[in-house]
């Protein structure tokens, strides 16, 4: 049983949910954590990030075999900052990625749950920004995945 399952079963630690949003090729990212507190956490690749608290909600996908698995994330957009940044990336033609991490309050040194997501759809209504994110982007996956090149198969240059 992993730590998150144990926490849900025992009701012990508090779960800290964080979001890191970034665009492809951009060094900076937007950081959010659920609630009013600011949390400093260490990511899976060793970076120490401070996630400011914001109003945030999520709708986890159903556990079924439909093949449509998306995570819906709502973020506070009262000041319009989220919309301005995300739409700037969209106009520039950049793909937007979100990383959803869950930490236990007693151990912020490594996430207990990680989802790497691609933003598929976005919607701005009232004071919220809603993002529909996919776990696996099949349309932008090359086929065959292992591409044959001259380095892998040197005989190809004579065909």
What ranges do the domains of the chain cover?
3-158
C-alpha–C-alpha distance, residues 117 and 124, integer Å: 19
* Residue 36 neighbours by CB under 8 Å, 6+ apart: 53
pLDDT at 42 over 90: yes
Q: Are 23 and 103 in contact (CB under 8 A)?
A: no
C-alpha–C-alpha distance, residues 126 and 150, integer Å: 54
Q: What is the band of 101 on the pLDDT scale with cuts at 50, 70, 90? A: very high
The stretch 31-46 carries a mean pLDDT of 93
Q: Are 117 and 124 in contact (CB under 8 A)?
A: no
Q: What share of the chain is helix, strand, coil (3-state, %, to 5)?
A: 15, 40, 45
Please name the fold of domain 3-158. Answer: Pnp Oxidase; Chain A (2.30.110)
Mean pLDDT (the chain) is: 83
pLDDT at 103 over 90: yes
Instruction: For the full predicted model, state whether its pTM sits above 0.85.
Output: no
C-alpha–C-alpha distance, residues 82 and 80, integer Å: 6
* Residue 93 neighbours by CB under 8 Å, 6+ apart: none
pLDDT at 9 over 90: no
Instruction: Note the pLDDT of residue 27.
Output: 87
C-alpha–C-alpha distance, residues 51 and 32, integer Å: 5
Residue 2: helix, strand or coil by DSSP?
Answer: coil
Instruction: Note the pLDDT of residue 109.
Output: 92
10 compared with 113, residue with greater pLDDT: 113
Note the pLDDT tens digit of each residue in 115-129: 888 898 999 988 899
Output b/e per residue, 96-132; b: 16+ Cβ within 10 A. bbbbbbbbbeeebeebbeebebbbeebeeeeebbbbe
pLDDT at 3 over 80: no
Note the pLDDT tens digit of each residue in 133-154: 887 655 556 666 677 777 777 7
Note the pLDDT tens digit of each residue in 46-57: 999 999 999 999
Q: What percent of the chain has pLDDT over 90?
A: 36
Report the candidate in 88, 147, 94 with the shortest Cα–Cα distance to residue 118. 94
pLDDT at 71 over 60: yes
């Amino acid at each position: 049983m992993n730590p998150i399952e144990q926490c849900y079963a025992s009701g012990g630690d508090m779960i800290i949910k964080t979001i890191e949003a970034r665009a492809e090729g951009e060094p900076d990212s937007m950081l959010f954590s659920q609630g009013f507190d600011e949390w400093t956490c260490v990511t899976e690749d060793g970076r120490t990030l401070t996630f400011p608290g914001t109003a945030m909600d999520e709708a986890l996908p159903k556990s079924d075999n439909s093949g449509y698995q998306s995570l819906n994330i709502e973020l506070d957009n009262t000041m319009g900052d989220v919309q301005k940044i995300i739409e700037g990336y969209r106009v520039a033609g950049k793909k937007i990625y979100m990383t959803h991490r869950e930490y236990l309050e007693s151990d912020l040194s490594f996430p207990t749950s990680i989802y790497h997501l691609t933003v598929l759809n976005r919607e701005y209504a009232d004071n919220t920004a809603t993002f529909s994110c996919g776990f696996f982007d099949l349309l932008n996956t090359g086929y065959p995945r292992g591409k044959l090149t001259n380095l892998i198969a040197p005989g190809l240059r004579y065909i």
